[in-house]
Amino acid sequence: MFQINVGGIDRVLRIAIGVMLLSLAFVGPQTPLGLIGIIPLVTGIFRMCPIYSLFGITTCRKPK
C-alpha cells in the first residue's frame, strides 16, 4: 500500500521532534501550536512521508 521511505536516523529524529513538539501542548507553555508535533510523530512511526513520496526521496538504505 505505502512504500517505506523514512530511514533509521530520520525516523528517530522525527519521533523525538514529534514528542517534543507534542509535549508543548500539554506541558510548558501549553500552546495548541504543539499539536503540529503529530505530523513528524506519525510519519516517523509509520516510516512513510508523503512529501518524500511526492519528490521521490528516500532515506532508507539500499538493499545489498
Per-residue pLDDT of the chain (64 residues; tens, 9 = 90+): 778 999 999 999 999 999 999 998 888 888 888 899 999 999 999 999 999 999 999 999 877 6
CA-based nearest residue to 39, from 19, 56, 55: 19
Per-residue confidence (pLDDT) for residue 63, from 0 to 100: 73
Return the C-alpha torsion angle 20, 21, 26, 32, nearest 10. Answer: 180
- The pLDDT value given to residue 15: 97
Q: What is the pLDDT of residue 39?
A: 96
pTM over 0.75: yes
